[in-house]
Amino acid sequence: MIPMRRHSQYMRHAALVGVSAIMLLPFYWVLKTAVTNENIYAYPPRLLPESPHLFNFVDVWYFIPFPRYLLNSLVVSVLVVASNVVFNAMAAYALTKNFPGKRAMLLLFLSCMLIPFQATIIPAYLITSKLGLLNSYLGLAFPLLSTIVCIFVFKAAFEAVPQSLVDAARIDGLSEGRIILRVLMPLSTAAVATNVVLAFIWSWNAFLWPLIITREPTMQTLPLGLARFLSYMEDTTGALYAFAVMVLAPSIFVFLMAQKEFIRGLTSGATKG
């Protein structure tokens, strides 16, 4: 952009610091409450926690089946991430080839993208129940096992690989599967990362679907555990906020580690359609 005067630079900084403060305030407030040991309802609330401690986190770990929720969430996330990388790469490779009906196929994918999953919950529940997958890890993961946005991320990455390289591999006698595995994937690590990050975030945060198809607490994932904890305890204890912090930490960590891949995934789905 056109160079600005220093004065306007300061104005910009001031505005952005203000915005950032508002955006960060909820983080601070939940952290502060999570480490507060006194009555969290004391008025006026203290802006700084007095003698902060971590008992609340210990409570979460021992007094509710947190390890169980965590295990369930992890199993579902691993399932979703692994199958997304495999299935999306396969589909994307197919879409880089020319075949009759390719246009129709692309159009089908793009229109599927416009159907929000939430608009299909009733039949999706009936289908899952017919498949006998209610209350199972596979059932929890099923709708997320392949995602259209991520297929297009792979497709763009594969198309950027020089065709001569793929042809050379074919002449050397590599099978199609090996070409994906040995040639295309190593050259598309950014796309793999995008797939992993997006699939993880989506499955980790999913709430409505697990809410519908799990009946037993032993199959519930972290967001359900959190909501259940809220409905038992109301918001009377700092442990609830410690729970929230523990659940948020992994996604914040993943986001900060792979911010570029995450944003690229979202915007490529967004701008390329």
Nearer to another protein, 76 or 244 (CB): 244
As measured in angstroms, the least distance from the Cβ of 41 to another protein is 5
104 binding another protein? (CB under 8 A):
no
What long-range pairs does 233-237 form, CB within 8 A, spacing at least 24? 236/40, 236/41, 237/40, 237/56, 237/59
> Which stretch in 53-61, 64-72, 112-120, 181-189 sits in contact with another protein by CB under 8 A?
112-120
The 10 Å Cβ neighbour count of residue 76 is: 23
Q: How far is CA 109 from CA 73, 152, 154, 187, 247, in A?
A: 28, 10, 14, 25, 32
Q: Which of 5, 48, 51, 116 binds another protein (CB under 8 A)?
A: 116
Residue of 70, 71, 127, 190 that binds another protein (CB under 8 A): 127
Question: How far apart are alpha carbons 109 and 273 in whole angstroms?
Answer: 10
- Which one of 5, 48, 162, 273 is in contact with another protein (CB under 8 A)? 273
- Report d(CA 90, CA 160) in Å as an integer: 16
The burial of 203, by beta-carbon neighbours within 10 Å (0-12 exposed, 13-18 middle, 19 or more buried), is given as buried
Q: Binder to another protein among 70, 109, 190, 217 (CB under 8 A)?
A: 109
Judged by beta carbon, residue 78 or residue 121, the one nearer another protein is 121
Q: Among residues 129 and 189, whose Cβ is nearest to another protein?
A: 129
Using CA atoms, how far apart are residues 208 and 15, in angstroms rounded to an integer?
37
Q: Which residues, numbered 223-262, are part of the site for another protein (CB under 8 A)?
A: 223, 226-227, 230, 235, 240-241, 244, 247-248, 251-252, 254-256, 259, 262
What is the Cβ-side half-sphere exposure of residue 158, based on CA atoms within 13 angstroms? 24
Read off the amino acid at residue 159. E
> How far, rounded to the nearest angstrom, does the alpha carbon of residue 119 sit from its chain's CA centroid?
20
Size of the site for another protein (CB under 8 A): 98
Site for another protein in 11-30 (CB under 8 A): 12-13, 15-16, 19-20, 23-27, 29-30
173 near another protein (CB under 8 A): no
Q: Please tell me whether residue 270 binds another protein under the rule CB under 8 A.
A: yes
Nearer to another protein, 2 or 51 (CB): 2
- Determine, following the binding rule CB under 8 A, whether residue 135 of this chain makes contact with another protein: no
